[in-house]
Chain A
Amino acid sequence: MTRKPKKSFSTKASGRRPPRSKSHLNTRRWLPDNLLSLFIKLLIVGVTCLLAWMFYLNARITTEFEGQRWSVPARVYARPLELYAGLNLGATELVNELDRLGYRAVLKPAQAGEYLHAGQSIELVTRPFQHWDGIEPQRHLMLDFQGRQLQQLRDDTGQPQLLVRLDPLQIGSIHPNQQQDRILIQLDQVPRVLKDGLIAVEDRNFHHHLGVSPTGIIRALLANIRAGRTVQGGSTLTQQLVKNYFLDSRRSLIRKGNEALMAVLMEWHYSKDEILESYLNEVYLAQDGARAIHGFGLAAQEFFGVPVTELRLHQVALLIGMVKGPSLYNPRSNPDQALKRRQLVLTIMADHGVVTPEQAQWAGRQPLDVRQGRRTLRYPSFLDLVQRQLRQNYRADDLASEGLQVYTSLDPRVQSLTESALIQGLERLEDQYRLDQGSLQGSVIVTQPESGEALAVVGDRQVRNAGFNRALDSRRPVGSLMKPVVYLTALENGFTLASKLDDSPVVVEGRDGSRWEPENFDRQSHGEPLLLTALTRSYNQATARLGMQIGIDKVVQQLQKLGFERSLPAYPSIVLGSEGMSPLEVANIYGTFAADGFRTPVRAIRAVTDAQHRLLSTYEFEFEQQIPPQSMYLLQYAMKKVMTEGTGRHAYSQLDSNLELAGKTGTTDGQRDSWFSGYSQDTLAVVWVGRDDNGSLPLTGSSGALRIWTDLLQRVNPRSYLTREPDQIEWYWVNSDTGSVSKKACPGTTRMPFRTNADIRISDRCDAMNQEQKKGWFQRWFR
């Protein structure tokens, strides 16, 4: 381009060469004119390019910065704790819950998130929270307890309150690996000291400049020259926002120029408040494994366990200090540097009148006050269940970016008790049986049987391990856990609890020539036990014969009615639990038992809302009556007997004997798996214990999994399992040897329920029963 005028000159002057002296004069005149013209042309071209570039940058700002600015991962919440008079919860347990939620013990609660615990009373200021079904406002409450019960719930004017709920614990978020995480906050939620402090430290002319601050740049330049190195940046908050949001961190003039231009454009389009709010949400503050922590909202939760509204001065100063060097001033990895930086920030805040010198001194005396970092998920096994259920309705991309709010049924208290019961239980078993430490594995799932809501899931004894989830994915033979399914089928097909079964050796030959020859655990056969006895004592031979008598197909159909969703081939050994199932599948089946024959699939989610709290989906109570109440009642009776007289009786060595429970042990061939599944009125728990290499154990269901189950039930303080007697049930006395039935109590008889019109012969007299008994003994003798 620069050559063009020369060419033009020579072309125009072509023809004759001008005289030398004249030429010299002309050249001297020509140079200023043409240089000016060139300059103007260059200027026009430059300005045009600049304008075009600015149009481009402007378009980037308006398109990329409008609407949803950030991908926000879905947040997953535990159930909120509902408080009401009569709730079975002690003061200490509530304090534990408050601590989990990051509430602060103070002498005089006044702000949200503060409480005072004094003996049997708690004064509490709750946090406001937008639940899926409505807003719970902030409340100042007085709670009085008696033992493990909340007696009174009043507000600070003394008015009794019917029902109040706390904000739920956030138990995780769903984000892709290597991604940014943040909790979006609005400017009006941000404490004044944080806004003013940030401006004082990072950009004291924020309210006066137009995106770039020449005085700031000069001041930084002078400071850097004096120090001989870079000690101060001249970037405004707007420039920092532009750099973080649109540009990379390369140090180049072009990048710096773009940053300045975009900062000016940003100020042109958006108000100072909008820019400040965006900055507070955008700024990078720390790294947690693969997750980058952005924004003050998430940083407040991450480092102090509180929402940004509850940050205190020393916490605010620490976070502001971290802006300059998230890694260098990280209070977990560099506490000394972080303390020094915090002190400097406090000094600047005091110098600029953001706080008084006294406040700054007080804050300077506070410890760093940072909570333990967690590089791992808090409840990975439960979150796994939540994600699987979410994926039935939501795309993975939406879960990772749309800021969905997921409200679950996790009970943090039960989850915590389940984790410790499993960890300690496995350690105890390893000690007791002199097994290598860490050789046993286990998993537990706990549900509320009436609603089917999952309360806790543990899929690994390393409870924070997000690897293989045994509670959902490990399919192991269930052994005798299958027996109640077989006996229920029998009870629906003409059998009674007093029916006599045949517990003698049995051999089944397969089409391929294989032989199935089940044995009892004690390697004995037990003659002709009552159906009730065969179930409570878990006799294999009697069950195998019974299953084949009623039909394996019917047993498989029953299994599916109860909630088992996969299809199964009908082969004989299925009746003794040779089929592998996961604890979740067992919980679905036993949930139907516990809910009186109503199928209530296990679910972990209550509702999902979008980022603006608009309801997207709710997960309703699902129940469908699958089993007639009379058959269920008979089975419940038998399963309670398992606990009082059968293989589950060890539970009462620890639990109150008045507590009514129902359940069943399970042990598999070669003692490779130890199972227990059982329930109270409000808690169903399935426990599996085994080895990952499928090795043999010195444990049965009773000596292994039941111990952990019992320990867990003792901790959760369950309610008795009360069964309501349905219509068409009659009670008779049964001779346990002969199975003969009487309306009257005779020696050696036990009272049992029967379905009305059951096919039984009822005696009126004891001598008739005794005759039956003698006959039975005589017949057996000469058989």
Chain B
Amino acid sequence: MRLPIVVVLILVGLTACSQWQAVPEQESPGRTESPLTLGLLDQIDSAIELSDLASADRLVRRGLQIDPFSPALMTRLAQIRWLQERPQQSLQAIQKARSLNPSAADQKTLDWLASQMTAGE
């Protein structure tokens, strides 16, 4: 007779524990980019490196038309607008990129851009 009572007590205890556990922290890891976006990012970065901002701009816009949720592409847009000396648009793109769950690398770029703007002010 004792065994079932013990089992019931354990089950009740477990249930209670599960109900009383603390609310888990929600994790928000950076988004994994698709192979297409990664390929486009390579091309955009090459264009930026060659100071071919017009090509980089076209590529990033084409990429965002296909995948407007990509924080990495939005980060590149912020970068390009900054290089084009359009700080207001760059700032908006930084804010947008931040809302899109950026990866650590994107975040680093965004922080750097934001610091440049602050320094510019």
- What is A's interface to B at a CB cutoff of 8 Å? 79, 82, 84-86, 133-134, 162-163, 409, 448, 450-451, 453, 596-598, 606, 618, 620-621, 623-625, 629, 681, 724-726, 731-733, 743-746, 751
Contacts and interface: CB of A to CB of B under 8 A. Distances in A.
A724 B92 contact: no
Given A163-B36, A451-B68, 20 more contacts: A79-B65, A82-B62, A86-B34, A133-B58, A134-B58, A163-B40, A409-B65, A451-B65, A598-B95, A618-B61, A620-B61, A621-B61, A621-B68, A623-B92, A623-B93, A625-B99, A743-B22, A744-B19, A745-B19, A746-B19
B109 interface: no
A322 B62 CA distance: 42
Contacts of A726: 99
**Highest count of chain B CB atoms <10 Å: which of A450, A597, A620:** A450
B69 A725 contact: no
B36 A85 contact: yes
Interface in B68-121: 68-69, 77, 89, 92-93, 95-96, 99-101
Nearest to A452: B68
Contacts of A620: 61, 89
Contacts of A162: 36, 39-40
Given A85-B36, A163-B40, A621-B77, A744 B92 contact: no
B36 A724 contact: no
B66 interface: yes
Interface of B is mostly: helix
B85 to A, nearest CB: 15
B71 to A, nearest CB: 10
Interface of B: 19-20, 22-23, 26, 28, 34-36, 39-40, 58, 61-62, 64-66, 68-69, 77, 89, 92-93, 95-96, 99-101
A733 B64 CA distance: 38
A407 to B, nearest CB: 11
A160 to B, nearest CB: 10
Contacts of B36: 84-86, 162-163
A681 B69 contact: yes
Contacts of B34: 86
Contacts of A85: 35-36
A134 B58 CA distance: 9
Contacts of B68: 448, 450-451, 621
Nearest to B66: A82
A184 B99 CA distance: 47
B99 A751 contact: no
Nearest to A618: B61
22 contacts: A82-B62, A82-B65, A85-B35, A133-B58, A134-B58, A163-B36, A163-B40, A451-B68, A596-B99, A598-B96, A598-B99, A621-B77, A625-B96, A625-B99, A629-B99, A724-B28, A724-B99, A724-B100, A725-B28, A731-B23, A743-B22, A744-B22
A744 B100 CA distance: 30
B94 to A, nearest CB: 10
Give the top 6 A-B pairs by smallest Cβ distance, nearest first.
A450-B68, A162-B39, A133-B58, A84-B36, A451-B68, A724-B101
Contact of A744 (B20, B61, B96): B20
A745 B69 contact: no
B120 to A, nearest CB: 20
A317 to B, nearest CB: 41
B93 to A, nearest CB: 8
Contacts of B26: 725, 731
A617 to B, nearest CB: 14
A449 B26 CA distance: 25
Contacts of A733: 23
A624 B39 contact: no
B92 A625 contact: yes
Contacts of A84: 36, 66
A625 B95 contact: yes
Contacts of A133: 58, 61-62
A506 B22 CA distance: 41
A130 B116 CA distance: 38
A719 to B, nearest CB: 9
A486 to B, nearest CB: 24
Contacts of A625: 92, 95-96, 99
A134 B77 CA distance: 19
A441 to B, nearest CB: 32
A732 B93 CA distance: 32
B23 A743 contact: yes
A751 B23 contact: yes
Contact of B69 (A450, A597, A744): A450
**Highest count of chain A CB atoms <10 Å: which of B77, B93, B95:** B95
A720 to B, nearest CB: 12
Contacts of B66: 82, 84, 163
B106 to A, nearest CB: 13
Nearest to A162: B39
B79 to A, nearest CB: 14
**Highest count of chain A CB atoms <10 Å: which of B34, B61, B99:** B99
A621 B90 CA distance: 12
A484 to B, nearest CB: 19
A531 B22 CA distance: 25
A431 B95 CA distance: 49
Given A85-B36, A731-B23, A621 B95 contact: no
A751 B95 CA distance: 29
Nearest to A451: B68
Contacts of A134: 58
Nearest to B63: A163
Contacts of B19: 744-746
Nearest to A450: B68
